[in-house]
Chains A and B, each alone.
Chain A
Amino acid sequence: MRTLDWIVLFTSLISIIAYGLYRSRGSNTVDRYLLAGKSMPWYAMALSIMATQASAVTFISTTGQSYVDGMRFVQFYFGLPLAMIAICATAVPIFHHAKVYTAYEYLENRFDAKTRALASLIFLAQRGLSAGITIYAPAIVLSAIMGWPERTTTMLMGITVVTYTVAGGIKAVTWSDVQQMCIIFVGLLVALITVFVLLPPNVSMRDAVFLAGAAGRLNAVTTHFDWNDQFTIWSGLLGGTFLFLSYFGCDQSQVQRYLTGKSIAESRLSLLFNAVAKIPMQFFILFIGAMVFVFYLFVQPPLLFQRAELARIESSAAFQPVAGDYQRAFENRRASALALTAAHRAGNRAEEARQQSLYRAAQHEMDMARSRAASLVQSYGGPKDFRDTNYIFLTFVTRYLPVGIVGLVIAVIFAATMSASSGEINSLATVTIVDLYRRHVRRNRSDHHYLAASRWATLFWGAYAVAFAGWGNRLGPLIVAVNKVGSLFYGSLLGCFVLAFGFRRVGGTAAFMGMLAGEAAIFAAFAFTGISWLWYNVIGCVVVLAVALAITYLLPGRASATGSTLQSQ
């Protein structure tokens, strides 16, 4: 980072925070602080919802995932449009008409207080953990660039985010997100253009795409079925639909955003915008990762992208043979990549097939060398199950992007993370105050009292998130870690809301028991099977429905239903 980068970084951050706070003035009641007085237009909610997902995790981890595994992660989002349609048709009008602050408040109207409390506690547990991972992501950035310890940077980011969230409320969060998404779009475009510019002069854009495909990095759709494979078209369409139904329909961090809409139509439009725009955006980000892979076909990538861990093993006797093999494999890969491109251009099929075989063999040797280096890291006291996926894109940005652009990209990563994290902390505080504190601890106090309590709750959840952030590096690629944590809890929440919206005869006790059973089933699947986490939502939801319906029909005396469902709307 040079002086210009630092200027760009700090100017961007200060302007984003200042703009958010400026737009949030007047947030002096609980309604305005938590729901922006239901005044937000659809485009602000849409970009805010998108920004929450497109946090630093999106840049850091998704691009790295594409570099090592190709683009098949995009299938994870195939269920998103279907989930958005279902939520627009059900949850959006029901929540708005119920005039609630939180999704779980509705559960008491429909079922009873204990079901609301259980759903609130499940949300607090999972979102609190995810908020920690969100804060951990920019700590990696600071650690990679400045060499600061991740724990120190986690604390620094956490304190900044908490301060900003306490002061701003949801209006600040939303309007900051709008500005950040504009910067993110610009940053993405600049990053992709820069990758193409940095390719050798004899490698065209078309060649780059061909080489990425030949290395299996453009595998956007995989049609085989495997319960243990996280990213196939089937897990995306079915598992992804359930995950996004849970995320956008039952997770307060998202529900709170579309509850700020000034009409039901505005809320629906904000979700449908994401249904249409999210998949192409994710494809674009993954494509950047694939092009970074092509860039490194011609410029030798480091053996390990995490410099601190590379330094740990460089002095060892076993390092030199691994590094030598890696360099030879790289040179072979570069030569075969150029020969493959030439054969492809010439239309020489036989030579193309031969070079493709050499190209893939060299790639395999490089992967093996990296794997041996990772094992060395572990044997020399490094982290178990060491992965450097999260460092790939950052290494590229800091080493090869031009002055000023580096600062812009880092600013995007910082700002997006701060926004995503502040939204999470804001929703955690909302549920704590509205669903637990106001309902069970201090009832019928003044608006000013609950506003102050909301700020204190925000402070508490910020501290909790920072404490959990220390665990982030043990959970694998960040983007997966965020969803893994969510999937442990989302399925049972989704099942409860499906019961609430669609099954009038089901009462509070049946729903409560169903949620407990659903959560037990998810943890059993996690602990005792190798089933991919994407299916946990399906399992949890199905178990909740099965148990609640069984109790309802086998013990009909316990099944008293109240409140509004789809049928009664």
Chain B
Amino acid sequence: MAGPRDVPDDPPPFLGTWRRVYFAVVIYLATIITVFYLFTRAYR
């Protein structure tokens, strides 16, 4: 039983580096929590 093959480590298809992609996801999370917080306050 052979092991699985190795696979390439490519750059992301957008934003140039993975570090920038991760930062964009953090910004997205902060935004969505803020929006949900405002939503909660608006309908409390």
Instruction: Give the residue of B2, B5, B21, B36 whose beta carbon is less than 8 angstroms from that of A272.
Output: B21
- What is the CA–CA distance of A14 and B43 in the complex, to the nearest angstrom? 43
Q: Which residues of chain B are near A438, meaning CB under 8 Å?
A: 1
Determine how close the nearest CB of chain A comes to the CB of B28; give it in whole angstroms: 6
* B43 x A209 contact (CB < 8 A): yes
Q: Looking across the interface, which residue of chain A has its beta carbon closest to that of B12?
A: A265
A219 touches B44 (CB 8 A): yes
Q: How many A-B residue pairs have CB under 8 A?
A: 101
* Contact in complex: B9, A263 (CB < 8 Å): yes
Q: Which residues of B contact A85 (CB under 8 A)?
A: 22, 25-26
Interface residues on chain B, number (Cβ under 8 Å) = 29
With contacts A35-B4, A213-B43 taken as known, whether A78 is within 8 angstroms of B29 at the C-beta atoms is yes
Contact string against A for B residues 1-20, beta-carbon threshold 8 Å, 1 for contact and 0 otherwise: 11111111111110000100
Known: A221-B36, A447-B1. A276 touches B25 (CB 8 A): yes
Could you tell me the distance between the alpha carbons of A447 and B2 in the complex, rounded to whole angstroms? 8
Q: With CB as the reference atom, state the residue of chain A lying closest to B21.
A: A272
Please, which residue of chain B has its CB at the minimum distance from the CB of A223?
A: B37
- Asked whether, in the complex, the Cβ of A265 is within 8 Å of the Cβ of B9, the reply is yes
Across the interface, A100 reaches (CB within 8 A) one of B3, B11, B21, namely B3
User: How far is A491 from B22 in the complex, measured between Cα atoms in Å?
Assistant: 24
CB–CB B1/A264 < 8 A: no
Please measure, in the bound complex, the distance between the C-alpha atom of A223 and the C-alpha atom of B38, giving whole angstroms.
12
Are A31's CB and B2's CB within 8 A? yes
B-binding segment of A89-97, A402-410, A411-419, A547-555 = A89-97
Q: Which residues of B contact A283 (CB under 8 A)?
A: 36
Nearest chain B residue, comparing its CB with the CB of A35: B4
- Contact of A219 with B40 in the complex, beta carbons under 8 Å: yes
Bound CA span A82–B28, Å: 11
Q: Which residues of A from 423 to 471 have beta carbons under 8 Å from B?
A: 438, 445-447, 450
Q: A97 and B6: CB pair below 8 A?
A: yes
B1 and A446 within 8 A (CB): yes
Indicate if A81 sits at the interface (CB-CB under 8 A): yes
Chain A binding surface, main DSSP class: helix
Contact, CB under 8 Å: A261 / B1: no
Q: What separation, in Å, do the CA atoms of A97 and B9 have in the docked complex?
A: 9
Which B residues touch A520, using CB under 8 A? none
Complex CA distance for A447 and B3, rounded to whole angstroms: 11
A233 CB contact (under 8 Å) in B4, B10, B33, B42 = B33
Q: How far is the CB of B18 from chain A (nearest CB, A)?
A: 7
Q: Is A420 an interface residue (CB 8 A)?
A: no
Of A89, A220, A222, A264, the most chain B CB neighbours within 10 A belong to A220
Q: Which residues of B contact A81 (CB under 8 A)?
A: 25-26, 28-29
A74, CB-defined interface residue at 8 Å: yes
A237 to chain B: closest residue by CB: B33
Once the chains bind, are B36 and A265 in contact (CB under 8 Å)?
no
Chain B residue numbers with a CB within 8 Å of A209 are 43
Cβ contact within 8 Å between B28 and A101: no
Q: Which of A45-94 contact B (CB under 8 A)?
A: 74, 78, 81-82, 84-85, 88-89, 93
Instruction: Give chain B nearest CB distance to A243 CB in angstroms.
Output: 16
Taken together as a complex, chains A and B put the C-alpha atoms of A80 and B1 apart, in Å, by 35
Q: What is the bound-complex CA distance between A294 and B3, given in angstroms?
A: 55
- Are B22 and A261 within 8 A (Cβ)? no
| C-alpha spacing A276/B25, complex, angstroms | 7
Give Cα A264–Cα B37 distance, bound, in whole angstroms.
Answer: 35
Q: In the assembly, what is the distance between CA of A89 and CA of B18, in Å?
A: 8
Q: What is the CB-to-nearest-CB distance from B5 to chain A, in angstroms, rounded to a whole number?
A: 6
A268 within 8 A of B: yes
Taking a contact as CB atoms under 8 Å apart, the answer to whether B8 and A221 are in contact is no
The answer to whether A96 touches B7, judged by C-beta atoms less than 8 angstroms apart, is yes
A212 contacts across to B, CB distance below 8 A: 43
Q: Give the interface of B toward A (CB within 8 A).
A: 1-13, 18, 21-22, 25-26, 28-29, 32-33, 36-37, 39-40, 42-44
Given A265-B10, A265-B12, A269-B12, 17 more A-B residue pairs with CB atoms under 8 Å apart are A31-B2, A31-B4, A74-B36, A81-B28, A82-B26, A85-B26, A93-B9, A101-B4, A210-B43, A216-B44, A218-B40, A219-B44, A220-B40, A264-B7, A264-B8, A265-B13, A276-B28
A binding-site residues for B, Cβ under 8 Å:
30-31, 35, 38, 74, 78, 81-82, 84-85, 88-89, 93, 96-97, 99-101, 209-210, 212-214, 216, 218-223, 233, 259, 261-265, 268-269, 272, 275-276, 279-280, 283, 438, 445-447, 450
Please name 7 pairs of A and B residues whose Cβ atoms are closer than 8 Å in the assembled complex, sorted by A. Answer: A35-B4, A82-B29, A96-B6, A214-B43, A220-B39, A263-B7, A265-B11
The 3 closest A-B pairs by CB, nearest first: A213-B43, A265-B10, A220-B36
